Structure 1
Amino acid sequence: MIFIQEFIQKIQYQQCILISYSGGLDSTVLLYQLIPFMYQYPFLQLRAIHINHQINNKSEIWSQHCHKICQKNNITLKIQKVFFKNKKNFQNHARKVRYQIIKKYMLKNEILVTGHHLNDQCETLFLSLKRGSGLPGLSGIASWKYLEKEKKIFRPLIKYKKIEIKKWAILNHIPWIEDDSNFQNIYDRNFIRNKILTPIEKKWPIFLENCYRSMKICYKQDKALNYFLDQILIKNKLLYHNIKVSIIESYIQEIQIILIKRWIFLNIKKNISYNKIKEIHHKLIKEHSKNPKYSIKINNYKIFRYKNIIYQIFSYPDLKNTIIYWHNHNKSLKLPYHLGELQKNQYGTTLPKPKKKDLVSIRFHTCKIISINNKYHKKIKNIWQENNIPPWNRNRIPIIFYNEKIISIIGIINFSNYYNDIWKISWTKKII
């Protein structure tokens, strides 16, 4: 029986394949299923990667086994050792580390294949139920997806039961490693596999197929729902980093919540728990007057409400105490944290030219009240407000000082009269 025929038909000319090879039953069967096609299609390049977690006392023996199998079949193998200081939530942490390593070693024209099968799908469904997941979690493991830009992962065995895969391995005398940790029920996935799914499958042999069918239905419904949510966002030009509260409030509460969830996902590319989205909705929509300064950090983004608009803004480090000296004015000055650069040219803001003895510095913070042309004083807060500068950008705009005297907030306001000589400075960066 060929499990990967459908997958092979999707392979493009000159395709490179990287298999995540643990030496266990699933990845071994996948490897041996791929080997004949490697000879049938000489252009198909096959490599393997083995992650040695160094947890089991047999780890080195397993690595040697994988090396021997790959060497026998003329397959290039990369073995990477990993050391885990923290054993807490090991399986989940190990999975993340594996994918980080694999993405690092993937070639430009290479796809990753793994040995996930139907039993893994159902285990994932039960884990999602345990966590209280919504439609995305109940949709199971995708047969393929992007790991990141231009890097794909395929799971050719995802429709097949483990018992089918094992029968094929025994029939074809395929050697594999049996990891005794798979029987340790301290891990959630192992408990579900050994204590829940095994008895269920004995009573209802078709249960796994029905689970898979339910997951596909959830996937299709989730895809359809996202289509309609995207239409709302596109129609209102909201596929960016802000969304008007009035748009959200024009729908019933149930739609408000999933609309916020979809909007966050499209920007951050991370599914947020339903409870967290409900909290964001409650604090930013329903009770904003009671929590005007509420914000939540997700990954490297901060989500908050400002002037009846909800924003997702990348959370940059605080530049309040940062000072950058610009000694050679004829050279452009690079600013930190992707803020672009300042350069002397004929197109920029007109400023009084510094004298030879003046020390020019760039800062991102100043005092609360500033003297303008030595005539009157103005609050910095009012300057920001008059120029519609939102709070999150007020310490990201370069402020030019000559010695300790403030000269200009670039592109916004000058604080000093022109001398006889002038120069022009451009800031090559757009902030949102």
Structure 2
Amino acid sequence: MNLQNHTTELVSQFLEGSPKQIVIAYSGGVDSHLLLVTVAELVSIYPAHHYLAVHVNHGLSPNADQWQKHCQQVCDELNIQFKAQQVKVDASANGGLEAAARKVRYQALEAMTEHHGVILLGQHVQDQLETILLQLKRGAGPKGLSAMAQSTVNENSITLARPFLELEKQDIVQLAQQKGLQWIEDESNQDTRFDRNFLRSQIIPPLLGRWPNLASAANRSAQLCAEQQQLLDEVNAKHLQAMVNQRFAIHIGKLQRLSEAWQNQIVRFWLAEQKVEMPSQTVLGELPKLLGAKPDGNPIIDIGLYQLRRFREHLYCIKKRKPELDVKLTLTASNTRLPNDLGHLHIDEKYIDQLLIGSRANNLKFKPLGSPHSKLLKQWFKQWDVPVWERERSLMLFWQDKVIAVLCEQHIIFASEIPCELRTMLHFRPNPPQL
């Protein structure tokens, strides 16, 4: 099969099936330009799809606006709908400028793609080799060394497809030249301060000079790592299903019955299921201390925007949130968004301006509806098994200077003093728990 036919076949496989949106990630470089032209050549064969070329303008080059105009012109000539999305890149973010630009680029592409749509990306086998080498630099395991998959489906049912992942860069350039394409050359690609550019210009050429098939071999290794990770995740899922509660917290006793290596595997899988950034090996090294702490202890492991915390016999992953410690809010509307991200409280108009939301008071005595006893609020929290971080965010509802309810993350607990009519006119709609 010649190169033209092979390239067409690679792209065609992602255009089969029912009508859907096909988004081409079009930077203007040779890879994405050839991808765009190949799609345009197939539109008449697959006319039912909605085709859209998206150019993400990072604004990092003085030529960025000129590149955008070039991409617009090419799409007009090919009769492909074009949209440009300008983004801001935070160079101070973790991972540096490269990682930040990649993150916002993918976010922009996904934001412009419909559910069940397909995003076509132009990465090739040398890009795969760069990714694998970067993962080696980071000390990645099988999941990281799986690098880029030819096709993945994200949580929004959007397919991210890389039709050219088996192609060599030289094949892409050769075919683009045969077609007489004019593409953009990003001057930043020569800046070896960026890791990928350093690998691309200084490291990979001599490697390929000695081992011409290295990129293809590395791609096969990535596929094998992906297969192994898939098998491992199947086992992880079975283990995890048997040890989590309704809040997706892990039962520590069940976890500790496994070897330390399996504990680390399951915790990584558990975090990935919650879209939490993977902790370093150093952070995971703190896990035995947390698991071995006393049940009434309050150890914490920080993972970026999240925390691993223990409460009783369970391990939780929670998002860091600082509670307001001095809340005093009169309810002046029938629907009020509560402080501390607890949710919304709906009241009858009759009670507008009569109810007050305040911070918790652990030393205040409280008698729940239906209970014959009055206790300190902190004693009730213990009896109700409310985790420490949820106690910190809980609020109290006052009426005529009396506490008539306690609002926790997922519950409203009425006091025995609350009038029946008022209780029926209060509706608490909590936010989904963020674990």
TM (norm. structure 1) is 0.86
Q: Is the 8 A contact 2:300 2:307 kept in 1?
A: yes
Counterpart mapping for 1:238-257 below 5 A: 240-257=247-264
Distance in 1 (alpha carbons) for counterparts of 2:415 and 2:88:
55
Counterpart mapping for 1:95-110 below 5 A: 95-108=102-115, 110=117
Say which of 399, 403, 407 aligns to 1:402. Answer: 399
Does the alignment pair 1:178 with 2:179? Answer: no
Residue 335 of structure 1: aligned partner: 338
Residue 172 of structure 2: aligned partner: 165
Shift of residue 380, structure 1, vs aligned partner: 2.2
Residue type at the aligned position of 2:31 = D
The verdict on how the C-alpha distance between 1:376 and 1:270 changes in structure 2, with shifts beyond 3 A counting, is closer
Identity of aligned residues (%): 25
Residues 241-280 of structure 1 show CA distances to partners (whole Å, capped at 9, x for unaligned) of 21111111111111111111111221x2245134155234
Residue 423 of structure 2: aligned partner: 424
Does the alignment pair 1:414 with 2:415? Answer: yes
Residue type at the aligned position of 1:94 = A
The verdict on how the C-alpha distance between 1:85 and 1:220 changes in structure 2, with shifts beyond 3 A counting, is closer
Residue type at the aligned position of 1:56 = S
Residues 78-109 of structure 1 show CA distances to partners (whole Å, capped at 9, x for unaligned) of 12334557478222111112122222222345
Q: Is the 8 A contact 2:296 2:311 kept in 1?
A: no
Residue 5 of structure 1: aligned partner: 9
Q: Is the 8 A contact 1:296 1:302 kept in 2?
A: yes
Shift of residue 332, structure 1, vs aligned partner: 5.4
Distance in 2 (alpha carbons) for counterparts of 1:386 and 1:185:
60
Q: Which moved more, 1:240-249 or 1:297-306?
A: 297-306
Residues 173-205 of structure 1 show CA distances to partners (whole Å, capped at 9, x for unaligned) of 222122232122111011111111111101111
The unaligned stretches of length 5 or more in structure 1 are 346-352
Residue 278 of structure 1: aligned partner: 284
Residue 154 of structure 1: aligned partner: 161
Say which of 358, 367, 371 aligns to 1:363. Answer: 358
Q: Which moved more, 1:404-413 or 1:179-188?
A: 404-413
Shift of residue 37, structure 1, vs aligned partner: 0.5
Does the alignment pair 1:198 with 2:205? Answer: yes
The verdict on how the C-alpha distance between 1:372 and 1:87 changes in structure 2, with shifts beyond 3 A counting, is closer
Larger radius of gyration: 1
Q: Is the 8 A contact 1:185 1:191 kept in 2?
A: yes
Q: How many residues align?
A: 416
The unaligned stretches of length 5 or more in structure 2 are none
TM (norm. structure 2) is 0.85
Residue 20 of structure 1: aligned partner: 25
Residue 292 of structure 1: aligned partner: 297
Residue 349 of structure 1: aligned partner: none
Residue 145 of structure 1: aligned partner: 152
Shift of residue 149, structure 1, vs aligned partner: 1.0
Shift of residue 216, structure 1, vs aligned partner: 0.8
Shift of residue 75, structure 1, vs aligned partner: 1.3
Cα RMSD after superposing both structures = 3.2
Residue type at the aligned position of 1:273 = P
Say which of 290, 294, 308 aligns to 1:303. Answer: 308
Q: Which moved more, 1:10-19 or 1:277-286?
A: 277-286
Distance in 2 (alpha carbons) for counterparts of 1:291 and 1:386:
13
Residues 276-313 of structure 1 show CA distances to partners (whole Å, capped at 9, x for unaligned) of 55234133124x25993322344654320111211123
The verdict on how the C-alpha distance between 1:289 and 1:213 changes in structure 2, with shifts beyond 3 A counting, is same
Counterpart mapping for 1:32-43 below 5 A: 32-43=37-48
